[in-house]
Amino acid sequence: MNVLLFTTLFPNNIQHRHGVFIENRMKELVKRYPDVKVKVVAPVPYFPSWLPVNDYKKYSNVTFQEQRCGVDVLHPQYWVIPKVGMNITPYFLYHTSVKALTQVIESGFIPDIIDAHYFYPDGVVAQWLGEKFNIPVMVTARGSDINYIPQNNIAAKRIQRTLMQAQSTAAVSQALKKSMQSIAPQAKPPNVLRNGVDLTVFKPDVPFSQQSLVIEPHEKLVLSVGNLIELKGHHLVIEAVALLENTKLAIVGDGEMRKELEALVITLGLNEKVFFIGNIQQQALIEFYANADLLVLASSREGMPNVLLESLACGTPVVATKVGGCEEVVTDPIAGQLIEQRTVANIASAIKDVLNRNTPCVEVREFAKQFSWDETSRLQYELFKQTIANYRGEITAHG
């Protein structure tokens, strides 16, 4: 089975955790089903570095071709026009992706299926590619592509059309599946392929090498992981920690709100309690998961948050807002606690409650075992086979 994985959310040589959940799903599938052969087309934005808007300069350092986990990955560049480009970006992405897919096919790799991730623009363009090259397409929704982007009317219509036309679709949570069905009620029901966690990688009892972060025996370490943007709620976690005694906070990630968050820490006098770690490699992140007392995810929206699964696998309970797939993860007090209302007071109260429970690490770890990749990989493999068979049957039926 030849699979062409298509997405703009995929790690590269300068963004090691960008879309790593998609790479992980691919890696786990191939590990369990060696007959699956994969090539990846993961386009990256291009924007002239000499123009004033330069957030995309970093992408000029992404290598065009690399190998990751033994799989060939192409990173063709596509034009992006910031702020005004949402409606035309799919055309630029399609143009460069046609060339890349042609290159893949000419190399002798004939895809049986396109496995696309994120509905806009990726899923929309994947469906166009499928129609051009006569390849069935499966598109997986990830979260904001369904819960946020359809606020744009043109994007909403394209997403709805893709939901109707793709040979199969998937969601990473039941909540996201319901949202997809509300956009296109007449489409085939999406399948649920939830994210998993590698229990051999994310595990407890990992030594802590962060010498600069000193936690006294009477103190608790709270962890907040994610891009430093408003929807992740780091500002609320900072304010919540200000209400708690003997509690320190480590924030892992980077983004546009960093200076604002640092200023908030200074204003609240939390310089000795809040630490900005920045972006770090996976092994360092595992150290934080395994040595923290609690993870807090204060997002305003989510798909199926990997940070919850990773933290639980390391034996660390969580506090999370009741959004997206969080409710499907935190189903027992052993795992932690959900927050109904996203407020500072509620976050502080939940942190205090979960820390006071002092749930043994081994119990949290045992709870996390239900989120291994085994079932997701099995369902994905069967869905690929069925999608390919159905498509070939349709082609035969139409002569």
Which pLDDT does position 209 carry in this prediction?
86
Q: Flag whether pLDDT at 181 surpasses 80.
A: yes
Question: What value, to the nearest 5°, has the Cα angle with vertex 225 and ends 43 and 145?
Answer: 40
> In this predicted model, what pLDDT tens digit does every residue of 33-86 receive, in sequence order?
999 999 999 999 987 666 665 566 677 788 999 999 899 999 999 998 876 678
Is the same domain home to 18 and 85? yes
- C-alpha neighbours within 13 Å on the C-beta side of residue 206: 23
Distance (Å, rounded) from C-alpha 374 to C-alpha 252? 29
Distance (Å, rounded) from C-alpha 154 to C-alpha 101? 26
Q: Where are the alpha helices (DSSP H) in the chain?
A: 20-32, 89-106, 124-133, 144-147, 153-165, 174-183, 234-241, 258-267, 282-291, 306-313, 326-329, 344-357, 361-368, 374-397
Is the same domain home to 328 and 377? no
Distance (Å, rounded) from C-alpha 284 to C-alpha 224? 14
Structure tokens at 263: 């200023």
The residue ranking higher by pLDDT, 211 or 291, is 291
Judge whether 29 lies within some domain: yes
Is the same domain home to 138 and 7? yes
Which pLDDT does position 377 carry in this prediction?
97
Cβ 5 vs Cβ 69: under 8 Å? no
Tell me the pLDDT band of 277, cut-offs 50, 70 and 90: very high
Which pLDDT does position 274 carry in this prediction?
97
Is the same domain home to 355 and 382? no
Judge whether 214 lies within some domain: no
Tell me the pLDDT band of 15, cut-offs 50, 70 and 90: confident
Is the same domain home to 344 and 386? no
Cβ 295 vs Cβ 316: under 8 Å? yes
Cβ 44 vs Cβ 58: under 8 Å? no
Which pLDDT does position 53 carry in this prediction?
57
Residues with Cβ within 8 Å of 84's Cβ and at least 6 positions away in sequence, in order, are none
pTM of the full structure? 0.86
Distance (Å, rounded) from C-alpha 321 to C-alpha 295? 12
Phi, psi of 200 (to 5 degrees): -85, -15
Tell me the pLDDT band of 399, cut-offs 50, 70 and 90: low
Which pLDDT does position 174 carry in this prediction?
94
Which pLDDT does position 140 carry in this prediction?
98
Distance (Å, rounded) from C-alpha 121 to C-alpha 43? 11
Distance (Å, rounded) from C-alpha 101 to C-alpha 4? 9
Report the first-to-last Cα separation within the chain, whole angstroms: 23
For the chain, the residue count is 399
Q: Flag whether pLDDT at 211 surpasses 80.
A: no
Is the same domain home to 285 and 147? no
Which pLDDT does position 3 carry in this prediction?
99
**By percentage, how much of the chain surpasses pLDDT 90?**
85
Q: Flag whether pLDDT at 111 surpasses 80.
A: yes
Is the same domain home to 359 and 380? no
Is the same domain home to 255 and 182? no
CATH number of the domain residue 143 falls in: 3.40.50.2000
**By percentage, how much of the chain surpasses pLDDT 70?**
96
Q: How deeply is 52 buried, as exposed, middle or buried, from its count of CB atoms within 10 A (0-12, 13-18, 19+)?
A: exposed
Judge whether 338 lies within some domain: yes
Judge whether 169 lies within some domain: yes
Judge whether 205 lies within some domain: no
Mean pLDDT of the region 304-315: 96
Distance (Å, rounded) from C-alpha 294 to C-alpha 315? 9
Q: Which residues pair with 46 in a beta bridge?
A: 79
Mean pLDDT of the region 182-205: 95
Q: Quick one: angle between helices 234-241 and 258-267, nearest 10?
A: 20
Domain count, the chain: 2
Domain with 332 in it: 220-371
Of the candidates 365, 16, 374, 380, which has an alpha carbon nearest to the alpha carbon of residue 168?
380
Mean pLDDT of the region 317-336: 96
Is the same domain home to 192 and 240? no
Q: What is the DSSP string of 108-142?
A: T---SEEEEESIIIIIHHHHHHHHHHT--EEEEE-
Structure tokens at 302: 């989510």
Mean pLDDT of the region 115-139: 98
Is the same domain home to 15 and 91? yes
> In this predicted model, what pLDDT tens digit does every residue of 217-272 receive, in sequence order?
999 999 999 999 999 999 999 999 999 999 999 999 999 999 999 999 999 999 99
Is the same domain home to 61 and 185? yes
When the pLDDT of each residue in the chain is averaged and rounded to a whole number, the result is 94
Structure tokens at 329: 């993860």
What three-state secondary structure class fits 278? strand
Phi, psi of 251 (to 5 degrees): -110, 115
Is the same domain home to 158 and 32? yes
Q: Flag whether pLDDT at 323 surpasses 90.
A: yes
Q: Amino acid identity of 339?
A: I
Judge whether 212 lies within some domain: no
Distance (Å, rounded) from C-alpha 314 to C-alpha 177? 28
Q: Where are the alpha helices (DSSP H) in 335-373?
A: 344-357, 361-368
Say which range, 23-37, 69-83, 163-177, 293-307, has the weakest mean pLDDT: 69-83
Which pLDDT does position 394 carry in this prediction?
78
Mean pLDDT of the region 371-399: 90
